[in-house]
Amino acid sequence: MPVPPRPPQRPHDLVHHGHRRVDPYYWLGETDPDVLEHLEAENAYLHEVLAPLAPLAGTLYDEIRARVDETDYTVPVRHGDWWYFERTREGLDYAITCRLAARGDDPTPPVVDPTSPAPDEQVVLDENDDARGHDFFSVGVFEVSPDDRWVAVGVDVEGDERHTLTFRPLAGQTPLTDEIHDVYYGFAWANDARHVWYTRVDDSMRPWQVWRHAISTPPEHDVLVYQEDDAQFTVSVARSRDGDVIMMHVSSSTTSEWWFVPANDATAAPRVLERRRHGIDYGVEHYRDPSGHEWWLTVTNENATDFRLLARRIHETTWRELIGERPGNRLDSVDAFEGFLALSERHDASAALRVIPLPDGDLAFDEDLLARSYLVDGDAAPSTVTLSTNLEYATDYLRISLTSLVTPRQSADVRVSTGEVLVRHQLRVHGYDRDRYVTGRLWIRASDGELIPVSLVTRADQATLNERGELVPTRDAPLLLYGYGSYEIAIDPSFSSPRLSLLERGVTYAIAHVRGGGEKGRAWYEMGRLSQKPTTFSDFVRVGRALVEQGWTTPARLAARGASAGGLLMGAAMNLDPDLWRAVIAEVPFVDALTTMLDSSLPLTIGEWEEWGDPASSATTYRTMRSYSPYDNVRATNDDGSSRRYPRLLATGGLHDSRVGYWEPAKWVLALRDANPDNVALLKTDMGAGHGGPSGRYDSWRDEAQIIAFLLDALAPPVARSAS
């Protein structure tokens, strides 16, 4: 084996609540000329170690690319007098956004030729032109004006999520010189198509300000509309679908506040809808019925753990209940259209979509809206059914997305009045035979009795249904277990074309929907945050052990993968049971959690206190985080004095990552090498990207091919070279 980098240890004392920690690699998070040199040395070491796998990675890359229609399109979406869609072209990394003029009120999307533009097709934005000359490129703002004459575009060429905003003509106007820097996500046009709102971040990358800009005026004349001084809260801005109001959402992890400005009165001062109350989380939608009456709709957890739907006239103050809480069915959000409501919810631990037709447009509080509603089903169990892009308010069609672990993503329209689902486009995957695979849902009992959902897909010759209709293995196989479990984010089952390279070689893929995520509602989240955060990690380990006990795999053939907070999960699981895993992939992992959460100057730290706690002010929180922070719990020996052996590790980081500092995986890998000098612990730092990794699709496929090659080599060397 090549010799890994061995940078110097420079012990740094960290003392809190009377407890002393010594961090030998603290300097990697400081401004030091040796840092870049070390990261480059790590990349060179990784390249040398993985060099024997380069032919396999090349084969995998070719497989990934061959399955995809590189020249393709998305289904057009109606916005005003135009249909908007995206093209991708073979050899180009980025999308090309185009539009076609709409003809009349026909709701059927125009047919797009993937290889040849229509004569009247207009290019709105070719991202490949903007990306030329940059190692990284991402569009964070893209909004067409209400009159369809301008498009606002915010681009990031560093990976630090700070965008440069420009306004581009779509109707032959003279180009504008307006250029606004350091713009974050979130944007809205006023109805006059002259004023816009955007957000900015503070020094810790917290979106805290909403600004208003008038087209064709210098940015230094922009007006600060709202500033949030509480460091635990962030702000965002968007325009309502009906075009009546501009909404500003002020939120922490558990508390919400909404402000609004009439879209027809751009210079009006924002007004608050409902003042924040700690622990009250609510989402807002504006609804204008056919009679012209305006309503506020809100999905709130006030007196409802899994949320309920309320409504009130816009000038009233009393909310009335439309749909009460249904324990176990988490109501995520409401989207209002002129003749119906669309509810995004959690149903049987899966993402589901409920449609409620409103034939007369009236919100009747004495009517059972659930009785007139219907669920849109997927074609497998478990499935993921979600809203797609819907820009029109007055429509009888709802654009949705359907997928599962065996269903390539479908873009479909629901005819609301009948419930008919019209599939407009399905991702074509060359060489894919759905009958070769089976998917299902397992339920693993945790030590406290809670049932942990697990979504699984495997080759059909490796599993079968028993007499109770449950999926059971017919033989053990290599298995990759994915997990996240934070921020009430649900990792719903979806199709992945690159994943087929694992499945074809006999590797089973599973998602552990552990506590801390949102799969089973707000209570599932609450059971995996703050002082109960260790439950997330024990859930994941319990799932891994159960998969071994049930015969799905063995520790010698079990790998784990997670990213960001899921990377923290990977590190904690390695410490809890290092012998359970053969290999681990940890992407941009939050593994130096305690030190990060003690430093309020770092991006996002203060805003994360509601998720992890504040270890600086609470000795109890400090002890809890110290008990699981992966970097602080790397050990060379087990409790019985035997040598500890960690699994093979591939960790990644991004030099410009504003969410998880590159130094976190860098320090962690060194600590693991110190504990296990003979084990493989690899670090790959993307020197030109941030939290999301490389931006171009071809570079992303190469990265994924390398990760799959690493996994195959670790899990199943005899079958790693070719698909069976």
Tokens in use for 515? Answer: 């506590």
- Nearest Cα to Cα of residue 616 among 102, 93, 15: 15
> Are 369 and 323 in contact, with CB atoms under 8 Å apart?
yes
Strand partners, 8: none
Q: In what order do the strands lie in the sheet with 179-183?
A: 138-144, 150-156, 163-169, 179-183
Among 160, 281, 492, 657, the one annotated catalytic = 657
Which residue, chain included where needed, has tokens 């689902």? Answer: 421
Is 286 one of the annotated active-site residues of the chain? no
How many H-runs (helices) and E-runs (strands) does the chain carry? Answer: 13, 41
Who contacts 105 (Cβ-Cβ below 8 Å, separation ≥6)?
none
Question: CA distances (Å), 372 to each of 332, 339, 393, in order?
Answer: 19, 13, 21
DSSP 8-state class, residue 147: T
Rounded-to-integer distance, Cα 560 and Cα 584, Å:
5
CA 661 – CA 667 distance, rounded (Å): 11
Residues 6 or more apart in contact with residue 82 via CB below 8 angstroms: 99, 100, 101, 102, 144, 148
From residue 243, alpha-carbon distances to 33, 78, 239, 475 in Å are 52, 15, 6, 57
Give the distance from CA 653 to its chain's centroid: 17
Q: Name the 3-class secondary structure at 300.
A: strand
Whether residue 669 contacts residue 604, with contact meaning beta carbons closer than 8 Å, is answered with no
Which H helix or E strand runs over 409?
none
399 CB-near residues (< 8 Å, 6+ apart) = 75, 77, 387, 388, 389, 390, 411, 412, 413
The region, left, alpha or beta by phi > 0 then psi within -120 to 50, assigned to residue 174 is: beta
User: Cα(638)–Cα(647) distance, rounded to whole angstroms?
Assistant: 14
The answer to whether the bond into 11 is cis (omega within 30° of 0) is no
Kindly report the number of other CB atoms within 10 A of residue 361's CB atom: 15
Query: Pick the catalytic residue: 564, 629, 658, 695?
Result: 564
CA distances from 571 to 574, 584, 710 (A): 5, 9, 18
Catalytic residue among 332, 691, 703, 713: 691
Q: Is-catalytic flag, 181?
A: no
Peptide bond into 473 cis (omega under 30): no
Pairing, β 187-189 against β 179-183: unpaired
Active site residue 564: yes
For residue 678, the 8-state DSSP code is T
Question: What number of other Cβ atoms are within 10 A of residue 386's Cβ?
Answer: 16
Tokens linked to 637: 């020996």
Residue at token pair 């805003």? 607
* Strand residue runs (E) in 657-705: 681-686
| Residue corresponding to tokens 């009992």 | 445
Cβ contact 290:338 at 8 Å: yes
Which residues form the catalytic set? Answer: 564, 657, 691
